[in-house]
Structure 1
Amino acid sequence: MFGLYFFLSLLFSFNAKENFLNPEVIKKQKIEVSLTSPTDKKTIINTTEQLRNKKIVSLSIILIIIVFLLFYLLYQNNKLKQKIKRKDTKQKILLNIINSGIDSQEIERKKLASFLHDNINSLLSSAGLHLNTFTAQHNVKSDEIEKTKTILSEAHELLRDMSHDLVPSLLVRFGLIYALEDLCEKNSNSAIQFEFSSSVPISKRYVEKFEMKVYFIVSELFNNIIKHSAAQKATLSLAEKNNQLILNIHDDGIGFKTQKLKDVEGFGLNRIRARIQKYKGTLSITSKVNMGTKIKIHIPLPQ
């Protein structure tokens, strides 16, 4: 663009100073030539030819420079496109790796939770039942047996809680909306209150895998709020619009500068982004120092 402007300016300058293409000027020069001697005529013609040749050479150089600049800009543009393409490819590969890891973890979660609930807990319950039956039939009273019953009961509760953390039973039995409301209640304490609101009916069910993904996204965001925000209040709201599930999470914590979001992104946030992008959803984060953080998530509903 600069080369073209320079070329036009130079051409205009040549025209303004010499007017060698102006018919009136040429005519005037011819008249002047006709009034001079043959030697002078030859000198004037040679001078005119030299000026014209210089102008042609100058214009040729300018055109070559312009063509060179255009080729250079085209080269730089292609180079930038390739760089962006490579970056996008790397990002897609990274997201695929993260999603593969997440999918494997969630499958293992489900297997382990099922194993703990259906096998270990069942064995502990059976052991406690046999112990109670034995003591009742033989009228045995012993501190060791009572302690054993207490230990079995505690182990049963610990395994139940572990199973619930791996895959919440409320999520499996009653669905996403009910489980998220329970998650807000579970995370509320004297330091921070989580409030829940939803325009989606609590009985609404989605595909199991989709419900698990959304549940763990919210759970991970809640953990970040509890650990880093120093907030006293946080809200979660759900809605459906244009065949999308919309989640809004807001806290009144210390916040941060949004332009420095990349500096504070950890693997946790990358995992959240990967989960959302797998469903072709979007994540936007708005935050100001000492004015809290707002997170909006749009995820297309599974068909």
Structure 2
Amino acid sequence: MGISLLALTHLPHGVARCATGSLVTMSADHESAVAAVAADSPTSSPAPRPPVRSAYGKETWKEISFLLSNLFTALAGFVYAVVTVLVGVSLSVTVIGLPLLALGLGGARWIGRSERARARALLGVHVAEPSRMPKRRGFFAWLWSSLKDPVAWRTQLYGLIRLPWGIVTFTVTLVSLLILWPVLPFIARGLANGDRGMVRGLLSPSDELERRIAELESDRGVVVDTAAADLRRIERDLHDGAQARLVALAMGLGLAKEKLLEDPEGAAAMVDEAHGEVKLALQELRDLARGIHPAVLTDRGLSAALSSVSARCTVPVKVSVDLAERPAEAIEGIAYFTVSELLQNVSKHARARSASVEVWRSEDRLMLQVRDDGVGGARLDGGTGLAGLTERLGAVDGLLVVDSPEGGPTTVTAELPWRSRPAS
């Protein structure tokens, strides 16, 4: 429906009259666009007319509904914020004070989520949901993370300042409904814009730096836990394997030394046995070193290393590596151990007849994909190590996706950041 620019310039600020004579309201952006069009010379090409909305249309009544409900939601939010903060702070000298405050801040996140949903439904404000709190292992890690949660504290602040605003918006809107009907749409628009600003300012997600710091703190915990688990595994392998074998070897050589003069043949047999033990110990040490970082990966890259690890799989594995250059050593190592663990899962759990490994680069990501034609049913929480693998990849901004319907086939795709190898 067309709008006369001449008529627009003679109506009050923010108001327009359609050809039918009905009033419509315009946002500030639309007003600027109309003013710019009206200021153009008659010879300039006409700009697109901004969309308008009816003064008493659906959007206006949604805003009125939001403003009238402000009093009740603001009262509930104010009481919750005051009670949780005062109780938590006043009892902080006891063992229950800080945990109660942390729980109260957790509840504030839920209130913020409900307020964002209300603003989205009635005001058309689409604010992204903040990232979830990172999972912390241990009570004190959870407590500290909850107490310094900026999203929860901003929601509590939102609850505190909303009560006087809720009283004002409820009163003004109610009075306008009863005695200021002609200007009700413009009052509702102005008050609703104040609410929109509060929602965007206090209930929006943390800024990117804040979010990234939280993610890095979580990732650092995963890396530390993973490193500690690897050290325990290496210690266990050394203690139960090579160390025990070397102790037995020393005892055997000691006995052979004692028998050397009395029973040369028996001593020679014991030395022979000790020689075999030495070979086994060396093999175990090589296997252990390969588990830390295989030499073939360092010397020849992913293609040769993955071909080597696939040869130890219990099913035939087709390996395809399409990389024009090598990624950074750390990323290369993570990719190798990811494929190695996935192929171990194929050997232990898949009951497959064949498998395949594909590696390629997609822009700034290193892509890995392991497929098998087994029975399927693999899940991240299924006890096959996929959950731990997901955490390890997440520590370097990686991603693991599992597609494994019952009956198979199974496809596991991993993404890693591509970080170029430094020039030598």
Same fold (TM > 0.5): yes
Q: What secondary structure is seen at the aligned counterpart in 2 of 1:91?
A: helix
Task: Give the deviation of 1:95 after TM superposition.
Answer: 1.6
SS of the counterpart of 2:205? helix
Given the alignment, which residue of 276, 295, 299 partners 2:413? 295
- Cα distance 1:101–1:234, how it changes in 2: closer, same or farther (>3 A)? same
Mark the CA change 1:269 to 1:205 in structure 2 (over 3 Å): closer, same or farther: closer
Deviation at 1:58, TM superposition (A): 1.3
Larger RCO (alpha carbons 8 Å, 6+ apart): 1
Alignment map for 1:265-276 (pairs within 5 Å): 266-275=387-396
C-alpha distance in 2 between matches for 1:255 and 1:79: 46
Q: Could you tell me which of 210, 219, 237 is aligned with 1:95? A: 219
- Verify the 8 A CA contact 1:197 1:236 in the aligned structure 2: yes
- Quote the residue 1:82 is aligned against: 205
Whether the 8 Å CA contact 2:329–2:421 is kept in 1: the answer is no
1:211 to 332, 340, 360: 332
- Counterparts of 1:267 and 1:248 in 2: how far apart (Å)? 17
Matched, 1:59 2:182: yes
**Residue 55 (structure 2) aligns with:** 7
Answer yes or no: is 1:184 the counterpart of 2:310.
Answer: yes
Deviation for aligned residue 1:247: 2.7
Q: 1:252 to 1:58 in 2, by over 3 A?
A: same
C-alpha displacement of 1:127: 7.4
Contact 1:176 1:206 in 2 (8 A): no
Moved over 6 A (4+): 53-56, 103-106, 260-265
Q: Deviations over 1:54-107 (max 9, x none)?
A: 99711344433333333333333444423686665433321233235556777x
CA contact (8 A) 2:380 2:387 kept: no
Q: Is the 8 A contact 2:371 2:409 kept in 1?
A: no
Contact 2:367/2:415 (8 A) holds in 1: yes
Question: Structure 1 residues 205 and 78 mapped into 2: Cα distance closer, same or farther (>3 Å)?
Answer: closer
Cα separation, partners in 2 of 1:255 and 1:62, compared to 1, 3 Å: farther
Which one-letter code corresponds to 1:159 in the other structure? L
Which residue of 389, 401, 408 corresponds with 1:285?
Answer: 401
Q: Counterpart amino acid of 1:151? A: E
What is the alpha-carbon distance in structure 1 between the residues aligned to residue 303 and residue 376 of structure 2?
A: 27
Q: What is the letter of the counterpart of residue 75 of structure 1?
A: M
Compared CA separation, residues 302 and 97, structure 1 to 2 (3 A):
farther
Check the 8 A contact 1:210/1:302 in 2, yes or no: no
What are the Cα deviations for residues 150-196 of structure 1, in whole angstroms up to 9, with x where unaligned? 4343333333322322332322443332111101111x21xx33221
Contact 1:251 1:294 in 2 (8 A): no
Give the C-alpha shift of residue 142 in structure 1: 0.8
Q: Which amino acid aligns with 1:81?
A: S
Residues 77-156 of structure 1 mapped to structure 2, 5 A cutoff: 77-82=200-205, 89-102=213-226, 140-142=264-266, 145=270, 146-156=272-282
The Cα offsets for residues 238-263 of structure 1, whole Å up to 9 and x where unpaired, read as 33565764433223344469xx9799
Instruction: Tell me how far apart the structure 2 counterparts of residues 252 and 82 of structure 1 sit (CA, whole Å).
Output: 43
Per the alignment, in what secondary structure is the counterpart of residue 223 of structure 2?
helix
Equivalent residue for 1:193, pick from 312, 316, 323 = 316
1:76–1:251 distance in 2 versus 1, CA, 3 Å: farther
Distance, in Å, in 1 between the alignment partners of 2:212 and 2:382 is 20
In structure 2, distance between residues paired with 1:180 and 1:153:
26
Q: Deviations over 1:116-138 (max 9, x none)?
A: 9xx98xx89x979x99x989x98
Q: Is the Cα–Cα contact under 8 Å of residues 252 and 291 in structure 1 kept in the other structure?
A: yes
Rg larger in structure: 1
**Structure 2: which 5+ runs fail to align?**
1-24, 27-52, 59-175
Percent identity at matched positions?
18
**Which of the two has greater helix per residue?**
1
Which residue identity is paired with 1:8?
Y
**Cα RMSD for the two superposed structures:** 5.1
Cα deviations across residues 173-222 of structure 1 (Å, max 9, x unaligned)? 43332111101111x21xx3322122448xx7665434323222322333
Question: What is the distance in 1 between the residues matched to 2:411 and 2:369?
Answer: 11
Task: State the distance in 2 between where 1:77 and 1:267 align.
Answer: 37
**Counterpart contact for 1:245–1:299, Cα < 8 Å:** yes
Count of matched residue positions in the alignment of Structure 1 and Structure 2: 243
* Partner Cα distance (1:162, 1:97) in 2: 25
**Residue 293 (structure 2) aligns with:** 167
Instruction: Work out the CA distance in 2 between the residues paired with 1:266 and 1:244.
Output: 21
Amino acid of the structure 1 residue aligned with 2:340? S
